Amino acid sequence: MQKEFTINDIAKEARVSKATVSRVLNDSASVKPETKARVLKVMADWHFTPSTVARNLSRQSSNTIGIIVPDIDNPFFGEIFRGVAEIADAGNYTLICCNSDDNLEKDQKALTMLKGHRIRGLLYTPAVDYTTKEQQAEINKLLQELNAPVVIMDRRSGSLSGYDGVFFDDEKGIYEAAMYLIGKGHRKIALLNATMDRVLARTRYKGYERALKEAGIPLERRYIFEGDYHMTRAYQLAKEMLAMEDRPTAVITCNNRTSLGFLKALYERHESLPKDMACIGLDRIETLDIIDSKFNYIERDAKMMGREAIRLLNERIACPDQCVKHIILNPALRIREL
């Protein structure tokens, strides 16, 4: 097995100290040009590639940005990453992306790992709401130990209100969708949502509730379905909804996975949009555009969220003492056919 060369080996061969090699790696101006040239020649001769982690440890910081998202398979978070990458590439940042699977333990493990990388900043969508005092104390401790700026994305949390954040006005999006359906004559409107222990579910429910109240339509609990924002559970709930004797005439699905679960249940019954049921879903589903589906949706520009999040992070890096900023992005209703 070929020997892996270290900074010690480079120092011995170049006849300098380890500290001098470290300064060359960090492009320090304090190293004499002839010494720097000798060290670089040894590195080139030996095809030496320095450890990024080691360099970060020596600097006490890095040009690495950490990103933690709860569902890397969800195209919404993929688009956020694309937006981040566009700005990060121009700023010569390295990105480390972690997936928490909506799991508290994985979330905290990712934060601990990123601390070891001495990241320059963190873009973070919490896995859970961190509602108990113990959870809040733990998550704030882990974030503070990063010793780096943090920007929260997509999911608001009262315990993390002291950090910069970029969010969509989901309440407004669901409200506008419900009002549009009401304007088209629908009175039996279902909401396919997640359970109320999630901040996003509560926010989206508020928009639905407000629209019905303004229109003078009684809120019927039997038309509210609480899942987990994943396709499997949404599919099960949609089957129950579609089998109801006095079923709704329209439904608002509260994320892209929920929309797919509903559509699967609908098509299994050989029914279609919008003939058998009207639907407005939260988030665009690219595949449905390709097949020219009649799917209506509330568009949230996830790529823009990514861009705004890293711009906000750059601002915080440049001005650590500036006031906390929350950027609220507006969704847009995209109607194909109703």
Using the Cα atoms of residue 184, residue 185, residue 186 and residue 187 in order, give the sign of their dihedral. Answer: positive
User: pLDDT tens for residues 190-238?
Assistant: 999 999 999 999 999 999 999 999 999 999 999 999 999 999 999 999 9
**Cβ 191 vs Cβ 223: under 8 Å:** yes
* pLDDT band, very low/low/confident/very high, at 5 (cuts 50, 70, 90): low
pTM over 0.85: no
Listed residue (49, 73, 62) closest to 95, CA to CA:
62
The mean per-residue pLDDT over the stretch 101-130 comes to 93
State the Cα–Cα distance between residues 326 and 152, nearest whole angstrom: 9
Check pLDDT > 90 for residue 285: yes
Query: Would you place residue 152 in the very low, low, confident or very high pLDDT band (cuts 50, 70, 90)?
Result: very high
- CA 224 to chain CA centroid, Å, is 26
| Average pLDDT over the chain, rounded to an integer | 91
DSSP letter assigned to residue 140: H
What helix, strand, coil percent values describe the chain, rounded to 5?
50, 15, 35
* pLDDT classification of 4: cutoffs 50, 70, 90: low
Q: What is the pLDDT of residue 1?
A: 38
Is it the case that residue 55 has pLDDT exceeding 60?
no
What's CA 217's distance to the chain center, in Å? 35
pLDDT: is 253 or 338 the higher one?
A: 253
Ranges of beta strands (E only) in the chain are: 64-69, 94-99, 121-124, 150-153, 164-168, 189-194, 224-227, 250-253, 278-282, 296-299, 326-329, 332-334
Burial environment of residue 223 by CB neighbours within 10 A (0 to 12, 13 to 18, 19 or more): buried
User: Are 89 and 58 contacting, i.e. CB atoms less than 8 angstroms apart?
Assistant: no
Q: How far is CA 290 from the centre of its chain?
A: 24
Whole-number percent of the chain with pLDDT over 90: 72
